[in-house]
Structures are given as structure tokens and as C-alpha cells.
Structure 1
Amino acid sequence: MTLPVIDMREVSRRYDDGPPALHEVSLTVRRGEAVAIVGPSGSGKSTLLNLIAGLDRPDTGTVSVDGVRVDRLGEAGAALYRRSRIGMVFQFFHLLDDLTVLDNVALPARLAGAARGRAERRAAELLELLGIGRHGGAYPGRLSGGERQRVAVARALMNRPALLLADEPTGALDTAAGQEVSRLLSDLHAEGQTVVVVTHDLALARSCTDRTVRIADGRIAEDVRSGAAR
């Protein structure tokens, strides 16, 4: 039986003396699923994303992603895990303005030790796939918001990650550009990419995922797949 891409079991995380940010959360995401994690500010969805990404550790419980026990990783191991197993897309792109679009996309492969020519060929293929191949030699500041987010998605896919994490990927975009990114995530899911989108935007959740997990007060309040509550 194929292992799930994400397997979280009885995970809790508390900061300082306040209520737990997450309390005994268990979540499984199978390969090829597209899942939206939704909830208001302070609900725990960002903590959940940080635990999946290896940016934080749970107080109790286990977090496994693509067969890796993320909760056991040290700083160096977590950095290697993020580089090789997951791709991350953020609200504000985080592109390097002094590098061309092609070099921004190729950077994760170069950091992983890939030869320049091989990395640049892969980057060019991704840019073409995402419809922005003509911008490879441009700098990010010359692109629209939607185009920059496409560059960020291409960069996230550079090392063929098992999991694509998108944190409010349309939050800094206008409506038209947001719809473009939503369609892009939907297309990637249709091609078999496992996608987890963290968002407060229910329209985005409905348009590009096939399952919605609602977080409230640090717990999973609802888990809905294909229109039917589980």
C-alpha cells in the first residue's frame, strides 16, 4: 500500500502559556490529493503548515511527509528536507530581484548541487509549462503579480517535490491574477501533483482543491471531500 504524502498523528503545539495552537490534530493526505486548509486568523492553520514544512516542531505527536519523520529533523536535516521533498509558494513571492526569472527558478536545483546547464534546462521547461517562458531573461520587477506568482510556482516545482505547499498564494493578487493562479494549481493537481493550500479564501479552496479541512481553535472542525462531509 502506498504511504500517504502527509501523515500527522495526535499533533499538539502550544506557545508560551496560552491555549494550544493545535490540539491533538491527526491528518492524512494521500498522493495526488489537493487539500485546502481553511480557517480564520489564529485558528492554527499557519502552525499546521509550519509543522508540515519542518519550520516548527510539535510538542507531542508525529509528523511524517513522504516517508520522512519531519518532527525528528534537526536544523540541517529540515533544510535538506525542504529542498528535496517539498516546494513552497508564499503570498509575497520572495523572488530575488537581482536574479533573472530563469535564475530564480533554477536556484533550488543549484543549491542542491545540480550542474548549471541541467538546472537551467529544467527551469526553462517549467517556465514554458507555466506559460511564461518568454520572461526567462527578465527580472522579477518587470513582471505582473500573477506572472511573479507563476515564477514562484515554477521555482517550487524545480526539484520535483512530493508535496507543493501554497500559503495564501492569491492573497497579494488582484482578482484576475488570483484566478490565473487558482487555475494553475488546479492544472497541477490534475497532472498528479499533491497540493496543500493554506487560505482563508473559500472560493480559492473550492476552485482548485477536492478536499477542504477547516481548522477552528486548534482542532479539525470539518473535513469535506467531493462535497460530502467525512
Structure 2
Amino acid sequence: MTQPVIDLRDVSRRYDDGPPALQDTSLTVRPGEAVAILGPSGSGKSTLLNLIAGLDRPDTGTITVDGVRVDQLGEAAAARYRRSKIGMVFQFFNLLDDLTVADNVALPAQLAGMARGEAHRRAAELLEVLDIDRHGRAYPGRLSGGERQRVAVARALMNRPPLILADEPTGALDTAAGDDVSRLLRDLNAEGQTLVVVTHDLALARSCTHRTVRIVDGRVAEDVSAEVAR
């Protein structure tokens, strides 16, 4: 049987003296799956994303992503892990306004040690595939929200990561741009990319994922597979 891309076992995380943000949570995601993590604010879904990304560490339990024990990584190793294993797409894009679109996309590869020329060739390929190559020399501030999110997706794909994590990827977009990004995520998954999308938007979950995991009070309350809406 194919090894999972994500394997969380009995993971718990508590902050200060409050209730657990996650409690005894287990989750498996296999290669090529598209999974939506749903839940209200404060349910633990952002904590789950941060733990998978190595931005936080659990109090108990184990986290393995593409063969890496993420819960055992130090700060420097976690940064290397994110560069090689994770592509992240954020609600507010997190692009660097003083870099061109092409430079934003190429940056993860250059940080990973790729030569500048090679990184920019790879960035140009991605910008063309995502239909934003005409904006390569522009700065992010001149682009629409939907275009900036496409740039963010291109950047996430730069190092060919086995896993894309998207945190409310349509939350800052209007309906038309949100639908565009939803189709893009669906297309990426159709090509074999593993996706985990954290969202409160059930329509987004239905349109670009085929499995929904609902988190309530730090626990998995529901895990349902369904066909992606086309």
C-alpha cells in the first residue's frame, strides 16, 4: 500500500492554560488526495495546518510528512523541510512587494540553493502554465487579488513539493477570483498534486476537494469522502 504523505497520530497541542487547541487528533492523507479541513474559528484547524507545516510542535503525538518526522525537527531543519516538502498558499498572498512577480516565484528555489538562472527558467515555466507570464516583470501591488493568488500558487509549486497547504486561499478574493483559484486547485489535484485546504467555505471544499475533515473543539468530528463538484 502507498505510504501516506501525511500521518498524524494522537496529536495534541495546548497553549498556556486554555483548553487544547488539538486533542488526540489522528489524520492520514495519501498521495493525490485533496482534503478540506473545515471548522469554525477556534476549532483547531489553523493549529493543525501549522503543525503539518512545522511552524509549531505538538505537546504529544507524532507527525510524519513524506517520510519526515516533523515533530522532531529543530528550527533550522524545519525551515529546510518546508522548502523541500511543503508549498504554502495563504489568504493574504504573503508576496514581497519590492520583488517582481518572477522574483517572488523564484525565491524559494534560490533559498534552496538553485542557481538564479535556473530558478528563473523554472519560474517562467510556472507563470506560463498558470497564465500569468505577462506579469513576470510587474510588482505584486499592480495585480488583482486573483492574479496575486496565482503568483502565490506558482511560488508554492516552485520546488515541486509533494504537498500543498492552502490556508483560506479564497478568503481575500471576490467571488469571480475565488472561483478561478478554486478551479486552479482542482486542476492541480487532477494532475496528481496532494492538497490540504483549510477553509470555512463549504462551497470551496466541495468544488476542489474530494474529502472533508471537520474539526470541532480540537478533535476530528467528521471525515467524509465525496466526489468533487465539476
Q: TM-score, normalised by structure 2?
A: 0.98
1:183-202 pair list within 5 angstroms: 183-202=183-202
The whole-number CA distance in structure 2 between the counterparts of 1:85 and 1:172 is 26
The whole-number CA distance in structure 2 between the counterparts of 1:181 and 1:214 is 22
2:86 is equivalent to residue 57 of structure 1 = no
The whole-number CA distance in structure 2 between the counterparts of 1:136 and 1:217 is 43
1:118-137 pair list within 5 angstroms: 118-137=118-137
The whole-number CA distance in structure 2 between the counterparts of 1:21 and 1:14 is 5
Question: Which amino acid is the alignment partner of residue 19 of structure 1?
Answer: P
Match of 2:68 in 1: 68
2:84 is equivalent to residue 109 of structure 1 = no
Per-residue deviation, 1:19: 1.1
Q: Matched residue of 1:147: which SS?
A: helix
The whole-number CA distance in structure 2 between the counterparts of 1:113 and 1:19 is 42
The whole-number CA distance in structure 2 between the counterparts of 1:159 and 1:138 is 22
2:224 is equivalent to residue 218 of structure 1 = no
The whole-number CA distance in structure 2 between the counterparts of 1:103 and 1:18 is 42
Per-residue deviation, 1:2: 2.2
The whole-number CA distance in structure 2 between the counterparts of 1:64 and 1:113 is 25
Per-residue deviation, 1:18: 1.3
1:1-230 pair list within 5 angstroms: 1-226=1-226
Question: Which amino acid is the alignment partner of residue 129 of structure 1?
Answer: V
Q: Matched residue of 2:20: which SS?
A: coil
Question: Which amino acid is the alignment partner of residue 177 of structure 2?
Answer: A
Q: Matched residue of 1:9: which SS?
A: strand
Per-residue deviation, 1:124: 0.4
The whole-number CA distance in structure 1 between the counterparts of 2:215 and 2:97 is 35
Which blocks of at least 5 consecutive residues in structure 2 are unaligned? none
Per-residue deviation, 1:191: 0.3
Per-residue deviation, 1:10: 0.5
The whole-number CA distance in structure 2 between the counterparts of 1:94 and 1:11 is 28
Per-residue deviation, 1:16: 1.0
Identity %: 84
Which blocks of at least 5 consecutive residues in structure 1 are unaligned? none
- Paired residues, number: 227
Cα RMSD over matched residues? Answer: 0.7
Per-residue deviation, 1:3: 1.2
The whole-number CA distance in structure 2 between the counterparts of 1:101 and 1:218 is 37
The whole-number CA distance in structure 2 between the counterparts of 1:50 and 1:117 is 32
Q: Matched residue of 2:220: which SS?
A: strand
Question: Which amino acid is the alignment partner of residue 207 of structure 1?
Answer: S
The whole-number CA distance in structure 1 between the counterparts of 2:161 and 2:215 is 25
- Range with greater deviation from structure 2 (129-138 or 151-160): 129-138
The whole-number CA distance in structure 1 between the counterparts of 2:116 and 2:21 is 42
Per-residue deviation, 1:219: 0.4
Q: Matched residue of 1:200: which SS?
A: coil
Q: Matched residue of 1:46: which SS?
A: helix
Per-residue deviation, 1:17: 1.2
